[in-house]
Structure 1
């Protein structure tokens, strides 16, 4: 962490307070804690987004309030004392009282519902989605790890494995690199066509599998999907895989600085229609900007946000039985596919004279 990153984020928090005529800001959600501390982890239960520590920005200081069993790790592993946060350590049942004492008499805003505070939760995705150079470097590193984990896991899949076994492979490959698999979805055979969000089951794989990973490290989240088929892909499924690759390519090509997110969304809808699947977009959201959540928000026809250099996006168009998903980063001259995998079969799509490479289904013949 460079001082500059923290300074920029503190300035953004100050601007948020001034915009709403507030004096203090309370941060208690895991993604926002990670953003504000340049990547620190403040969770225990990965199924909850409630942080085990609170950050409080006031006119007189930067406070971190936590209990006595969390403080040592936050100080030592996360280095937050060195980052300049003033620790207030309480017993587990006294945290709220300490927050109230420190914020007493101040006009308070918070990133989640809190008594007496203005709810600012909707402001944070827009703060988080514009990645600073240090965050861009961390996202690229994370994406490389997620791509490697996916590549190793999916190439180890064999007919006869259960979805639980496949999920265990994918999760282990992510964790081996220090990446937390916060989404680990597996579908095989008919379940690929039945479910867009397939939690793994004891079903035994026969020929076809889809693996979906959202991995978290230093607070950031990267997303990637790949599919594998044993034997030649049936022609109808090949047509669907080709179509979803063309839709994804169109959306990636349209995600350029100065474009509005809803323009990209509309490009995707037009691509669905052109591919002969005009209503499939209604079956699942199409993705959006990535950052400290798998999607900082989901793109719709109403989303007016501008695409900017340094942002990351994960589009995820689906057609029943097929899906395309990678995490990309917006560069000044071109987009970079961060989760690309060497030697993975590709579908090359031509969009306005440029080639956009999208992953094909891996066929094991």
Structure 2
């Protein structure tokens, strides 16, 4: 699997006359090598050459995670030694290159400084080529995302009975994250959002110590991770009866979500899908209260290509995976967001989520 992915990357590199691609810890390194690490104070680099050779520079503490069978060379260093000597050895293994391809959007300054010790003439961004490769999900990737979705849905179902007046948003988030861990989630891809009442007007209203009150809507936006792959889910629920205004807002968002999803098929653009949902919300008089893009790609990252937003003329193709998450946010009143995870198919779409979208009143 990883070998096939690297072969595709090497094909891009040869077309663009890139001699070596340098990857840093994160989703791209995981995608091409299987090595799952986060960027830290310990320098880690992977080099993929235009003739498909693979070189690792890793701290000793992570050495056992490297697949030795696929590596042409593995250079390690201890905490006491530091990476300086290892960088020079890495340089010797790679030799001189005309052009290096690097991840401009994810590389830290420390990693950039390390790369400056290598021998090359030109530096270019290989990120766009990698993003294009990763946009089309493989069958097994979709299967892992489906499992992450199942974990998220089951965990929400288990958490809802614990929501009552006087419980804090933080307590709800803790319960939800506990339920996901119990079901196999490796963590959360972003800070869990539980935003009740007036705080629901904050699109990124991370869980706080605010107590939930009756008559409020509660926006719950959270994610699960299964074998590296992400599910990103939002549902908005009510604690007992809510006002007619809040019910109207909920119905508008639900219509925008469902109508945009029904339109998904190959050949549509990201702009087209966004415009459908945005048009419904605008026609209802809440256009200024929908303040973010309609969706974003999902996979090994919580946010990746494709971005479903205005003026993005990217044409949808089978295998693309993304969210559809329209929202309305009214200051001092509350907010609603409903989010599903979609896969573009040959003839339309597949919604990985099965959780109901009718308003749940607790």
The TM-score normalised by the length of structure 1 is 0.83
- Secondary structure of 1:267's aligned partner: helix
Q: How far apart are the structure 2 equivalents of 1:6 and 1:173?
A: 32
Q: 1:67 aligns with which of 59, 68, 77?
A: 59
Partner residue, 2:234: 225
Which segments of 5 or more consecutive residues in structure 1 lack a partner in the other structure?
Answer: 345-358
Q: Does 1:130 align with 2:125?
A: no
How far did residue 229 of structure 1 move? 1.5
Picking from 127, 152, 155, the partner of 2:158 is 152
Show structure 2 runs of 5+ residues with no match: 330-334
**Counterparts of 1:234 and 1:266 in 2: how far apart (Å)?**
28
- Provide the C-alpha distance between the structure 1 equivalents of 2:274 and 2:262, rounded to a whole number of angstroms: 12
Match of 1:289 in 2: 297
Q: Does 1:304 align with 2:300?
A: no
Secondary structure of the residue aligned to 1:174 is helix
Cα separation, 2, equivalents of 1:309 and 1:171: 32
Q: Per-residue CA shift, 1:302-354, capped at 9, x if unaligned?
A: 3222212222110111112111101122223442221322xx4xxxxxxxxxx
In structure 2, the CA distance between the partners of 1:242 and 1:49, relative to structure 1 (3 Å rule), is: farther
Measured at CA, do residues 11 and 234 of structure 1 come closer, stay the same or move farther in structure 2, by a change above 3 Å? Answer: same
Q: Equivalent of 2:12, from 16, 39, 43?
A: 16
Q: Distance in 1 between matches of 2:180 and 2:172?
A: 13
SS at match of 1:288: strand
1:104 aligns with 2:95: yes
Give the root-mean-square deviation of aligned CA atoms: 2.3
- Partner Cα distance (1:51, 1:294) in 2: 24
Q: 2:206 — aligned with what?
A: 199
Displacement of 1:155 in angstroms is 3.3
Task: For 1:85 and 1:188, locate their aligned partners in 2 and report how far apart those are by CA, in whole Å.
Answer: 53
Q: What is the CA distance between 1:88 and its match in structure 2?
A: 2.5
Return the offset for 1:60: 6.2
- Hey, what does 2:36 align to over in structure 1? 41
CA separation in 2, counterparts of 1:255 and 1:96? 48
Q: Secondary structure at the match of 2:171?
A: helix
Runs of 4+ in 1 over 4 A off after TM superposition: 48-52, 82-86
Q: Give, in angstroms, the shift of residue 84 of structure 1.
A: 5.3
The match for 1:363 is 361
**1:279 counterpart SS class:** helix
Match for residue 354 of structure 1?
none
1:349 is matched with none
Say if 1:186 and 1:211, in contact at 8 Å, map to a contact too: yes
How far off its partner does 1:42 sit?
1.2
2:346 to 328, 332, 336: 332
- In the alignment, which of 88, 101, 114 is matched to residue 75 of structure 2? 88
Cα distance change of structure 1 residues 146 and 101 upon mapping to structure 2, 3 Å threshold: farther
Match of 1:327, SS? strand
CA contact (8 A) 1:163 1:202 kept: yes
- The answer to whether residue 21 in structure 2 is matched with residue 25 in structure 1 is yes
How far apart are residue 261 of structure 1 and its match? 1.4
Aligned to 2:262: 253
1:165 to 162, 171, 191: 171
Question: What residue number does 1:268 align with?
Answer: 277
- Give the TM-score, by structure 2 length: 0.84
Q: 1:51 to 1:175 in 2, by over 3 A?
A: farther
Taking a change above 3 Å as real, the CA distance of residues 267 and 173 of structure 1, as seen in their structure-2 partners, is: same
* Distance across 2 between alignment mates of 1:31 and 1:327: 19
Distance across 1 between alignment mates of 2:90 and 2:249: 54
Contact persistence 1:210–1:228 (CA under 8 A): yes
Task: Measure how far apart 1:172 and its partner are.
Answer: 1.2
Q: Deviations over 1:130-164 (max 9, x none)?
A: 10112111111111112222222233222211111
Question: How much does 1:203 deviate?
Answer: 1.0
Using the TM superposition, give the Cα deviation of residue 14 of structure 1 relative to its aligned residue in structure 2, in angstroms. 0.9
CA–CA separation in structure 2 for the residues paired with 1:278 and 1:296: 25
Separation in 2 of the partners of 1:42 and 1:138?
Answer: 19
CA distance in 2 between partners of 1:309 and 1:217 (Å): 22
